[in-house]
Amino acid sequence: MARKVAVIGGGIIGATAAFYLSFLDSNHQLAITLFDDGTGQATKAASGIISPWLSKRRNKRWYALAKDGAAFYSKLVADAQLGSDAYQQTGTIVTRRAKDALEALYQEAQIKVAHTPAMQAVQMLSSQEVAQRLPFLTNPPAGIFVKGGAKIDGAVFIDHLLSRAQQNGVTLKRQRVTFDARGAIETTDGPELFENVIVATGTWMKGTLEPLNYLVKVRPQKGQLIDLTVSEHQRAGLPVLMPESLSDMIPFDGGKLVVGATHENDGGFDLQATSAAEATLLGNAKTFAKRLSANQITGVRVGTRAYTDDFAPFFGHLPNNPNILLGGGLGSSGLTTGPIIGYLLAKSIVDHQLGDWQRYTKSVSQYVI
């Protein structure tokens, strides 16, 4: 009889986990159900950047996870047969305001690229060279081009993964669920017991685990992005601009430009777009592209990220219950770190063996008590 496995949450961790549970289950020994209602999901609201190597963050576990997460994408894209509308490796341009800081960063980049194959190559670009690569800019900064950097359309990415998972036999139920006191999942059809469960409900994890008397130490952070039309004739394959202390600018094929995202710690679970955030994001973009105007904005997307006190993701099994696995606290690096977490959790269920993940994360008991 097939072993029943549930994935709660269809964001970047949950969707990847559901896909790999079905992909790795070559003997069809698992009956996999994914529960998700999609409300406030950070991934679907996001357009993200896969380029962690020159981050200012100095958390060694986070960097190991982000570095391996970026490298993992080549496997995921091949396994799930993802198209360029979901994932596109066009390179990233990272800037620093001060010339000496940019030169120091370039020295760091040269050291890292020597032992980080996923970076592929790095190149110092003058402001004129940046303008050649991003022609819609009117005031381009100098920067460092990282060839291996990539960009993702979060909503398309999730839809593709879930579609592949369903083709492999995963059952998708569009509903929000929680546990009851005995560990069964409360569904609209009544309580249901599963032999293994992956919980990846982001900042809603508190409510998911509350019936089991666990306290999850995550907090919500609101994030908003704006979509603009730059030019119907904009050439394809433009790189991402990651300016220091300002909003990222992510150009997509077809003349679409995404700017963001905000980091609103007081925004909580509010999913309403605000004119203040729209003005801030447009103002940040106009620092480098002064011809942009509000009438080019085609939409605002809003999501809620989950953050931990030390800004680090966590994953592993629920304290005292190895059959319930967790992954969360991704913060703003979720599109980089989420897929590899989903893969590792899925693989541990398929292999009947928990992995040694100490190089990537502290114990779950640091975040769930």
> Could you tell me if residue 72 is inside a domain?
no
Question: What span, in angstroms and rounded, lies between the C-alpha atoms of 201 and 329?
Answer: 10
230 plus 137 within the same structural domain: yes
| 71-84 average pLDDT score | 96
358 plus 318 within the same structural domain: yes
* DSSP track, 215-264: -B--EEEEEEEEEEE--TTPPS-PPEEE-TTS-EEEEETTTEEEEE---B
Does the structure show a pLDDT above 70 at 42? no
Does the structure show a pLDDT above 60 at 40? no
Query: Residue 26's pLDDT is what?
Result: 87
| 337-364 average pLDDT score | 95
207 plus 318 within the same structural domain: yes
CATH number at residue 16: 3.50.50.60
CATH number at residue 252: 3.30.9.10
140 plus 223 within the same structural domain: yes
pLDDT tens per residue across span 288-321: 999 999 999 999 999 889 999 999 999 999 998 9
Total number of domains constituting the chain: 2
> Could you tell me if residue 66 is inside a domain?
no
Query: Residue 236's pLDDT is what?
Result: 87
> Could you tell me if residue 39 is inside a domain?
yes
pLDDT tens per residue across span 121-170: 999 999 999 999 999 999 999 999 999 999 999 889 999 999 999 999 99
Q: Which of 274, 289, 307 is the C-terminal boundary of a domain?
A: 307
29 plus 119 within the same structural domain: no
275 plus 185 within the same structural domain: no
SS3 for 73? helix
284 plus 361 within the same structural domain: no
Question: What span, in angstroms and rounded, lies between the C-alpha atoms of 226 and 228?
Answer: 7
Contact 113, 122 (CB under 8 A): yes
pLDDT tens per residue across span 3-32: 999 999 999 999 999 999 999 998 899 999
Query: Residue 321's pLDDT is what?
Result: 92
Query: Residue 266's pLDDT is what?
Result: 72
37 is written with which tokens? 């209602």
Query: Residue 148's pLDDT is what?
Result: 98
> Could you tell me if residue 119 is inside a domain?
yes
Full residue range of the structural domain in which residue 288 is found:
92-148+219-307
| 261-272 average pLDDT score | 84
Phi and psi torsions of 221, nearest 5°: -135, 125
Q: Which of 286, 307, 328 is the C-terminal boundary of a domain?
A: 307
Query: Residue 351's pLDDT is what?
Result: 94
184 plus 292 within the same structural domain: no
Contact 151, 240 (CB under 8 A): yes
211 plus 271 within the same structural domain: no
- The DSSP code for 235 is P
Q: What pTM was computed for the model? A: 0.95
Query: Residue 270's pLDDT is what?
Result: 84
> Could you tell me if residue 236 is inside a domain?
yes
Does the structure show a pLDDT above 80 at 47? no
Neighbours of 117 (CB within 10 A): 10
130 plus 223 within the same structural domain: yes
242 plus 141 within the same structural domain: yes
DSSP bridge partners of 88: 151
> Could you tell me if residue 63 is inside a domain?
no
359 plus 234 within the same structural domain: no
Query: Residue 231's pLDDT is what?
Result: 79
> Could you tell me if residue 292 is inside a domain?
yes
Query: Of 53, 174, 184, 62, whose CA–CA distance to 117 is shortest?
Result: 53
Q: Which of 307, 326, 350 is the C-terminal boundary of a domain?
A: 307
> Could you tell me if residue 56 is inside a domain?
no
Mean pLDDT of the chain: 93
